[in-house]
Structure 1
Amino acid sequence: MARRRQAVTIKHVAADAEVSLQTVSRVINNEPNVRPEMKARVQASIDKLGYIPSIAAQRMSGSRSYLILALNDRERTIADWQARQGSDWVDQMLLGGMLKCAEYGYRMIIELVDTHNDHVARELNAALVALQPDGVILTPPHSDNPLITGLLEERRIPFARIGSLGNGGGIPLVMGDEQAAERATRHLLRLGHTRIGFITGSKEYALSSWRENGWRAVMDEAGLATEGLCVTGDFSYVSGTAAAEQLLSLAHPATAIVASNDQMAIAVLDHARARGLDVPRDLSLVSFDNTPVTMFSQPPLTAIDQPIAATVARAAELLIAAKKGDKLPAGVTVIEASLIERGSTAPPAPA
């Protein structure tokens, strides 16, 4: 019968490197004031012995938990999962956050919380007590929920606010929504469109108004009319259909539309077809998000690519820095979105 291999512990590393347990712990936890040669010596022993630090051991060694907690809206997330329509927001959060946390010996955990739930503070407090995270990442609409931000302030837990300007504390990060809407609108202007419609997102998201502002700024700069061309949506397919009906039933219909998310853009595409319109010959269409559905629609959608993974990665990095006491950048951190041109935009059809 083969003997079970003995687990390598911090004591084995200390003995091999001929240093104290405290020195090994400081190297594992990437603490300051460790001489480079000592760090290299300990790391060499770690690599040779195949030692893998456990989070439990790290948590016991100091004031850090080595956990970052990310919160996402429960209702919308579960609806997206159940619909199976290609939304990859959570996937991108995991991609950026988990990989960045791993670089620093951290782990990221996602919790779903209902922003409208009367018990949101109780739910969040239970998660904080159980996990004791070193920092919390908030996504819209949690980013601007005073019940959540107030509790984190009270508990003195560092928190990053994606899609927020950070009024009331925290580390604010945005994805350049206003500039992205400007970029989408200018793209359509360059193609020759002057009747450019815009479908907003839900008003509970600050970024919805930022995107509308970007569209209006470019239209105003070009001296183009906007009356009747801005329609309120709520990020749902149903609202996208209603908005498309309104924009395409005008006396002078929109020849191009910017939709504030992919589900509403797909609704516009379907409604246009139902009216006998061809995209992009009769109607150009630009979407926000760039989820997988945009690549497989017919035609593939020109879309604003939201840098979700990069933004969550940066949020995690800033939270880890805050926990270590490092100086953080002043103001709002901007991770710029980009425009991906595909087959849903073209010059307007001749009159």
Structure 2
Amino acid sequence: MAKAIGRGRGPTIIDVARVAGVSKMTVSRVINNEAGVRDGTRKAVLAAIRTLNYEPNIAARTLVTAGEARVGVVYSNPSAAFMSDFLIGVFEEAAAKGVRLTLVKGEDGLAPPEAELRRMAQGVDGVVLAPPLGELPAIRQVLSDAHLPTAVVAVGQPTGEGISVRIDDWQASHDMARHLLSLGHRRIGFIAGNPDQSSSALRLEGCRAAVDATPGAELIIAQGAFSYTSGLRAAEWLLDEACPPTAIFASNDDMAAAAVSVAHRRHLDVPRDLTVVGFDDTTVATTLWPPLTTIRQPVRQMAATALELLMGAIRNGAPAAGDHLLSHALVERQSTAPPNRARAPAPALS
């Protein structure tokens, strides 16, 4: 059943899109009799137009002809370096495709206020969600209510709804753990990411699988939250162990950088006394000393691909769906070495 139209105004293109369950751009393509719209979608739009007695205005008729589209970008992530790469990827793709962006920011990995999300939803044709927001049911519900196509980036386990662009977190973490094991490390500290994100669990399980398959190897797990501060706490805890690890694998570069800082404060040389590796290959990985060995997650490419796929779905009137897996790489730099058997990490300074 169609939702009631507000008193004092006639139906709008947004109302038609809502009733038909499509984007505003798809409605405009049908109004302009453009090619590339599926028959079922076209019929649904025409039926909604008849039901609402909608009369297209000039703005609606020229929306697609002018090539204009608006996409909301919702982001909130404790890693400034990750978000910088994500936004650059979105901005570059938007500039190439002539897409106007509406940015909505949450704080510390939390969703923006629902009222702000609903205001945004009224003025865009689709939405790109940065991690961890693609896994928050409250946000997905707002976008579902608005019948907006969505694309989520870097979600470990896709929900099956909308477009997802990601890497294989389990395999990437497994590759890094095997690299540490190949160097001779048998006591590995792992700093886990935010427990509310599926990628965190996959990275932990990938590392655990490699360690469990190696006789004599042991994994020590410390909880982090993908922030530098949480990495400091986790690294301190790991190095306070009676028998501390000879290598620390952090679930992102921010926490790995924190582990390097803790090592330096304890007068430990990285990598001679302690190997430290990260995940993401953000700018953090190459701006500290020593540069980090890390997993390259192509964040900019993932963000750009998400926007490209979303725009294809919007402009073609096709369902926005599909799981798209991009390649990762293990990047070796100067933060790794075989374990120093002559010296174990020292306890915290008093």
If the length of structure 2 is used for normalisation, what is the TM-score? 0.73
The equivalent of 2:69 in structure 1 is 66
The equivalent of 1:245 in structure 2 is 236
Match of 1:193 among 185, 199, 222: 185
Q: Is the 8 Å Cα contact of residues 196 and 257 (structure 1) preserved in structure 2?
A: yes
Match of 2:149 among 148, 158, 162: 158
The equivalent of 2:90 in structure 1 is 97
Within 5 A, what are the aligned runs for 1:280-319? 280-319=271-310
Q: CA offset at residue 100 of structure 1?
A: 2.2
Deviates more, 1:92-101 or 1:306-315: 92-101
The equivalent of 1:22 in structure 2 is none
Q: Deviations over 1:72-126 (max 9, x none)?
A: 01xx46xx6xxxxxx3333322322222233333233322135646x73211011
- Looking at structure 1, the residues matched to 250 and 59 of structure 2 have their Cα atoms a distance apart, in angstroms, of 46
The equivalent of 2:166 in structure 1 is 174
Q: Does 1:183 align with 2:175?
A: yes
Q: Is the 8 Å Cα contact of residues 200 and 233 (structure 1) preserved in structure 2?
A: yes
Q: CA offset at residue 262 of structure 1?
A: 2.2
Aligned residue type for 2:281: N
- Looking at structure 1, the residues matched to 321 and 148 of structure 2 have their Cα atoms a distance apart, in angstroms, of 19
Report SS of the residue matched to 1:286. Answer: strand
Report SS of the residue matched to 1:267. Answer: helix
Change over 3 Å in CA distance of 1:163–1:93 after alignment to 2: closer
Change over 3 Å in CA distance of 1:179–1:328 after alignment to 2: farther
Q: Does 1:261 align with 2:262?
A: no
Q: Is the 8 Å Cα contact of residues 68 and 100 (structure 2) preserved in structure 1?
A: no
Q: Deviations over 1:258-312 (max 9, x none)?
A: 0112222122112212223211111111012222232121211112222111111
- Looking at structure 1, the residues matched to 319 and 61 of structure 2 have their Cα atoms a distance apart, in angstroms, of 27
Change over 3 Å in CA distance of 1:113–1:252 after alignment to 2: closer
- Looking at structure 2, the residues matched to 323 and 143 of structure 1 have their Cα atoms a distance apart, in angstroms, of 19
Aligned residue type for 2:129: L
The equivalent of 1:346 in structure 2 is 337
The equivalent of 1:43 in structure 2 is none
- Looking at structure 2, the residues matched to 97 and 146 of structure 1 have their Cα atoms a distance apart, in angstroms, of 23
- Looking at structure 1, the residues matched to 197 and 145 of structure 2 have their Cα atoms a distance apart, in angstroms, of 24
- Looking at structure 1, the residues matched to 199 and 334 of structure 2 have their Cα atoms a distance apart, in angstroms, of 26
Change over 3 Å in CA distance of 1:263–1:161 after alignment to 2: same
The equivalent of 1:332 in structure 2 is 323
Within 5 A, what are the aligned runs for 1:105-144? 105-114=98-107, 116=110, 120-129=113-122, 132-144=123-135
Report SS of the residue matched to 2:144. Answer: helix
Aligned residue type for 1:101: A
Structure 2: unaligned runs, 5 residues or longer:
1-27, 37-57, 343-350
Aligned residue type for 2:96: E
Change over 3 Å in CA distance of 1:243–1:307 after alignment to 2: same
Aligned residue type for 1:191: L
Q: Does 1:206 align with 2:192?
A: no
Q: CA offset at residue 140 of structure 1?
A: 1.7
Within 5 A, what are the aligned runs for 1:17-56? 32=35
- Looking at structure 2, the residues matched to 276 and 97 of structure 1 have their Cα atoms a distance apart, in angstroms, of 41
Q: Is the 8 Å Cα contact of residues 113 and 123 (structure 1) preserved in structure 2?
A: no
Change over 3 Å in CA distance of 1:346–1:326 after alignment to 2: farther
- Looking at structure 1, the residues matched to 336 and 214 of structure 2 have their Cα atoms a distance apart, in angstroms, of 19
Aligned residue type for 1:61: T
Change over 3 Å in CA distance of 1:105–1:210 after alignment to 2: same
- Looking at structure 1, the residues matched to 225 and 303 of structure 2 have their Cα atoms a distance apart, in angstroms, of 24
- Looking at structure 2, the residues matched to 240 and 158 of structure 1 have their Cα atoms a distance apart, in angstroms, of 35
Change over 3 Å in CA distance of 1:273–1:191 after alignment to 2: same
- Matched positions, count: 287
Q: CA offset at residue 327 of structure 1?
A: 5.9
Q: Is the 8 Å Cα contact of residues 58 and 66 (structure 1) preserved in structure 2?
A: no
- Looking at structure 2, the residues matched to 61 and 69 of structure 1 have their Cα atoms a distance apart, in angstroms, of 21
Q: Is the 8 Å Cα contact of residues 203 and 234 (structure 1) preserved in structure 2?
A: yes
Q: Is the 8 Å Cα contact of residues 294 and 301 (structure 1) preserved in structure 2?
A: yes
Q: CA offset at residue 225 of structure 1?
A: 4.2
Q: Is the 8 Å Cα contact of residues 313 and 320 (structure 2) preserved in structure 1?
A: no
Q: Deviations over 1:209-247 (max 9, x none)?
A: 1111111111122245445x0111112333222222222
Q: Is the 8 Å Cα contact of residues 247 and 254 (structure 1) preserved in structure 2?
A: yes
Aligned residue type for 1:134: D
Change over 3 Å in CA distance of 1:245–1:102 after alignment to 2: closer
Q: CA offset at residue 323 of structure 1?
A: 1.1
Change over 3 Å in CA distance of 1:265–1:153 after alignment to 2: same
Aligned residue type for 2:293: T
Q: CA offset at residue 190 of structure 1?
A: 1.6
Q: CA offset at residue 32 of structure 1?
A: 4.1
Change over 3 Å in CA distance of 1:202–1:153 after alignment to 2: same
Report SS of the residue matched to 1:88. Answer: helix
